[in-house]
Amino acid sequence: MLALPELTFTGKKWQDVRTARNRAARAGVTAEWTAYARAPLAITDQVRAISEEWVADKGLPEMGFTLGGLDELADPEVRCLLAVDADRTVHAVTSWLPVHRDGVVAGWTLDFMRRRETGFGGVTEFLIAAAAQRFQDEGAEFLSLSGAPLARLDRGEQPDAVQRLLDVLGRALEPVYGFRSLLAFKAKFQPEYRPLYLCYPDPAALPGIGLAIARAYLPDLTARQSARLLAHLR
């Protein structure tokens, strides 16, 4: 999570973000807000193609549950931010979900994040920085970068049996979904880390919980994709 009122992009720790913003300026790429459901077909077709390119490269279906996809982009409350050049080529897209407190939007959460394979390096950093600046100007309290499934910050604590199992699963799936790479990417924004917890009544419930979470993340997993997934786990 990034606290927006005091956020600045100054200092050595923000060098990567400043570099991304400078590269975008040199490339003539600007950050453009849009509502996906009302965006021109020329834009939505590009966003769909970028997403399909990403999914095809994995060889496994796009994950759901805590991760947004194209369906969520069409929600009227979701705000989309595009990186677009002078030729109207979309280089990357991010989407942002409102976080409400007492019926008022207090902050925004990163949901959908995709970049064109041929897009310039740092384009996603550029979009997140642009979103943070916009939300800051609007008076939002915070920006959340969301979680990174099956990845965690090493706090030097001794993991329990469940966490060790999740760590093994995360390492096995890293080449496919890049959970740890995603966590490292988000670290560029110097966020405040807040752990996510799973509460359960008894350890005997864990297998059923694990199966339910797997089905939630990958509800459309085919038999062929299941075999590919198991191969990675081995």
In DSSP notation, 10-58 reads -SGGGHHHHHHHHHHHHHT-EEEEE-GGGS-HHHHHHHHHHHHHHHHHH
Structure-token pair, residue 41? 């077909």
* pLDDT tens-digit series, residues 117-146: 887 889 999 999 999 999 999 999 999 987
pLDDT of residue 170: 62
Which positions ≥6 away from 205 have C-beta within 8 Å? none
Coil vs helix vs strand at 194: coil
Counting as low any pLDDT under 70, the low residues of the chain are 56-68, 148-156, 159-179, 210-211, 213-234
Report which of 63, 83, 65 is spatially closest to residue 124, judged by C-alpha positions: 83
CATH of the domain at 91: 3.40.630.30
pLDDT of residue 203: 77
Report which of 221, 215, 234 is spatially closest to residue 172, judged by C-alpha positions: 234
Average pLDDT over the chain reads 82
Range of the domain at 68: 2-233
Q: What is the tally of structural domains in the chain?
A: 1
Half-sphere exposure of residue 37, counting CA atoms within 13 Å on the CB side?
9
